[in-house]
Amino acid sequence: MTDQCFVAGSPISHSRSPMIHGFWMAERGLDARYDRIETTPDQLAGLLARVRSGDLRGGNLTVPLKEAVIAHLDDLTPEAAIMGAVNTVWMKDGRLTGANTDVDGFFAHLGQELPGWTCAGRDVLVLGAGGAARAIIHGLMRRGAATVTLANRSVARATALVASLSASHPGTSTRLRLTSWPVASEQIAAHALVVNTTSLGMKGEPPLPMAWPVRLDGQVFYDIVYAPLLTPFLAEARARGAIGVDGLGMLLHQAALAFGHWFGAVPEVSKALRTLVEADLVAPAQAQRP
C-alpha cells in the first residue's frame, strides 16, 4: 500500500513541501506520496483521525493549525511543548505525536553553511516576535548564546515573548533583552548574529527599517524569508562585508527532520534538491515578465 503524507493548512496551494518530500521519496524509491490537504481548524480532527487509523503515515501542519493541533495530540516533543506550536505529526508507539522541527532545522542549516560556527558565548539580535522568533530564541538559549536581544514593531508583543521565554528557561532571564524599533546602527554592529524572523523584505512587503553601519565584517545575517532568496536585508548586509544566509535552507532542513520522523532516517539536504527548489522560486517571477 502506498504511504501517504501531507501538508495541511489554509491556504495551502502555495506550499512547496510536495516538491521537497517528493524528491526524497523518489530518491529512496519509496512507494509513497505527499499531498497538499486544504484544512481548517474545524476539519483538523477528521484529518488526524486518518493519521491514527494508519490511512495517513504523517504530515506537516502550517497556518492556522500549528497551535490548534496540540489539543488533539497524545504527546509533544520538548521543543513543541515549549513553543506551543507543532509542524509535524506521526504515530509513535501507538500515540499521536507532535514535533516542531523549526529550531533544529534553523541550526542544521546554519551548520551546513558555516561549519564550526557556534552561537555559544556570542551576542545575537533577533528581529520579530512571532512563532519563528520564539523557536529561534529557544534554540539560541539552549545552545548557550551569551545574550539574545529582541526587537519588534509591537513592544507589548516583544515584552510578552521575552517574559514567556524567561519562564520556560529558568535562570536565563538576564540573557534576554529588548531594544527599540527601528533598530539603531550601534545595535546591529554589536551582535555576532542578526536574524530576521519578520515578513519584511518578502515579495510584496517593504524592507526592514534599519540604520545600517558602514561595515559589518565577519558578522552573520540570517533571513528566514526565502522568496526572494536575496532580500534587501541580505543584500545590505553582504554589501557591508557580512555573511548573509538565506531562509531556503531552514525550510529544507526542517522538512528533512519531519521526513525522518515518518520514515526513520533523515535525508540529505543536497545541492540537487536546493537547485530544484530555487528554480521553482525563480519560475513564477520569470513568467510574469513582459
Domains by residue range for the chain, with CATH? 3-100 (3.40.50.10860), 104-248 (3.40.50.720)
Helix %, strand %, coil % of the chain (to 5): 40, 20, 40
**Locate cell 508507539: which residue?**
93
Q: What is the pLDDT of residue 173?
A: 67
Helix (H, G, I), strand (E, B) or coil at 207: coil
Span 215-223, average pLDDT: 95
**247-288 per-position pLDDT tens digit:** 999 999 999 999 999 999 999 999 999 999 999 988 655 444
- Distance between CA 27 and CA 29 in Å, rounded? 6
- Distance between CA 226 and CA 231 in Å, rounded? 8
**42-96 per-position pLDDT tens digit:** 999 999 999 999 999 999 999 999 999 999 999 999 989 988 999 999 999 999 9
Mind telling me the catalytic residues?
A: 66
Alpha helices (runs of H) in the chain, residue ranges in sequence order: 17-27, 44-53, 78-83, 102-113, 131-142, 155-168, 185-189, 232-239, 248-263, 271-287
- Distance between CA 277 and CA 18 in Å, rounded? 11
Predicted TM-score of the model (pTM): 0.92
Top-confidence residue, 254 or 165: 254
